[in-house]
Amino acid sequence: MRISIKFFASLREQLKMEDMDISVESVTTVHDLWQHVVKKEIPDNIMVAINQEYASMQSLVQDGDEIAFFPPVTGG
């Protein structure tokens, strides 16, 4: 399946990873996807959204999804 992945703010800089579109087969959850792509443990405070809606690390990933990882938000 095709997945689009985005990283924001300090997380993008720390990982030195650009947004990417990838093909994956064995991935089922957001957590799997992170492991597959980043190849490190996921920090506790990282937030995730699937198709611009908040999700959890256990949420299932589906073909065509946009998955965004980001650090705690600091707006306002």
Partner 1 sequence: MLVKVTAQAIEPWNILAHYEQQHIQSEHTGAAAVFVGVMRKHNEGDEVKSMYLEHYPAMTEKFLQKLAQKTMQQWDINDVLIVHRVGQLFPDDPIVVVAIWSAHRAEAFTVCRELMEQLKTQAPFWKKEQLHNGEYRWIEKNTHGYIVNT
Near partner 1 in 9-48, by CB under 8 A: 9-10, 13
Which one of residues 15, 54, 58, 64 is an interface residue with partner 1 (CB under 8 A)?
54
Side chain identity at 63, as an amino acid letter? D
**Distance, CA of 64 to chain centre:** 14
CA distance 3 to 20: 8
# chain residues binding partner 1, by CB under 8 A: 17
CA distance 56 to 76: 24
Stretch that binds partner 1, among 7-15, 21-29, 32-40, 56-64 (CB under 8 A): 7-15
In the complex, least distance from residue 9 CB atom to partner 1, rounded to whole angstroms:
4
